[in-house]
C-alpha cells in the first residue's frame, strides 16, 4: 500500500538521498538512462534539510520506506545549486515567473515502483499541499530525459521555455494549480 505524504524526519531525507544516488547518471547504464530516466542534481543532507524546513518534500512510502519523492524548492534557494541558477534566470523572463510558484526540484521513483501511479500521486499530493499558496509548479527536464518529459506531459505540464546551459538543452515546464 502506498502512502503519499510530506517528509517529517531525517530518516526520510536520508532515504531520498539514497534513492537519488541510485538514479544519478554515473550510477546508470546508457540504456537505463534512456529507458528509465535519471536525475541531474546531487543534493547534500544539509541543503535537503533546509529546503524541507521551508516546504516539506513530497514523498511516496511503502512499508515505511521512501519509494518516490518530489522535492519542494522555494525560490530562496536559487543560488544554492549552481546548475539551477540559469533556470531561475530563464523563469524570471517569463510571465509565469512573475506569479508565485513552487519549484519541483527533482522527482524520482524507485525502479520497482515505476508504472504504478507513483508519479501522478506525488504531483497530486504536491498540488494539494500548494494550492492556494502558489499558482503553479515549475520544473525543468533535460531534453535527453525522454521518460521524464513524457511523464510530465501526460499529467498536464506545458512547456514554458527551452534554453541551453552547461552543454545541455533544458525544457522548463509548468503545471497550473
CATH number, position 136:
3.40.630.30
Rounded to whole angstroms, the Cα distance separating 157 from 136 reads 10
Over its length of 177 residues, how does the chain's per-residue pLDDT go in tens digits?
Answer: 899 999 999 999 999 999 999 877 678 788 877 767 777 778 899 999 999 999 999 999 999 999 999 999 999 999 998 888 999 999 999 999 999 999 998 999 999 999 899 999 999 999 999 999 999 999 999 898 888 999 999 999 999 999 999 888 999 999 999
- Containing domain of residue 131, as a range? 2-176
Domains contained in the chain, number: 1
Compute the residue count for the chain.
177
Give residue for cell 533535460.
Answer: 142
Please name which of 126, 150, 125 lies closest in space to residue 138, comparing C-alpha atoms. 126
Rounded to whole angstroms, the Cα distance separating 35 from 173 reads 21
Residue ranges of alpha helices (H) inside the chain are 10-22, 30-36, 45-54, 85-92, 118-130, 146-154
C-alpha cell at 171: 525544457
Amino acid at each position: 500500500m502506498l502512502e503519499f505524504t510530506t517528509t517529517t524526519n531525517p530518516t526520510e531525507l536520508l532515504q531520498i538521498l539514497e534513492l537519488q544516488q541510485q538514479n544519478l547518471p554515473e550510477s546508470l547504464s546508457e540504456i537505463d538512462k534512456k529507458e528509465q530516466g535519471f536525475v541531474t542534481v546531487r543534493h547534500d543532507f544539509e541543503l535537503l534539510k533546509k529546503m524541507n524546513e521551508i516546504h516539506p518534500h513530497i514523498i511516496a512510502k511503502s512499508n515505511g520506506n521512501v519509494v518516490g519523492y518530489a522535492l519542494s524548492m522555494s525560490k530562496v534557494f536559487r543560488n544554492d545549486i549552481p546548475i539551477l541558477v540559469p533556470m531561475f534566470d530563464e523563469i524570471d523572463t517569463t510571465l509565469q515567473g512573475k506569479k508565485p510558484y513552487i519549484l519541483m526540484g527533482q522527482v524520482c521513483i524507485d525502479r520497482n515502483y515505476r508504472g504504478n501511479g507513483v508519479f501522478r500521486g506525488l504531483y497530486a499530493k504536491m498540488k494539494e499541499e500548494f494550492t492556494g499558496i502558489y499558482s503553479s509548479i515549475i520544473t525543468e527536464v533535460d531534453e535527453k530525459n525522454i521518460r521524464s518529459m513524457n511523464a510530465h506531459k501526460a499529467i498536464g505540464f506545458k512547456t514554458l521555455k527551452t534554453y541551453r546551459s552547461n552543454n545541455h538543452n533544458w525544457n522548463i515546464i509548468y503545471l497550473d494549480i
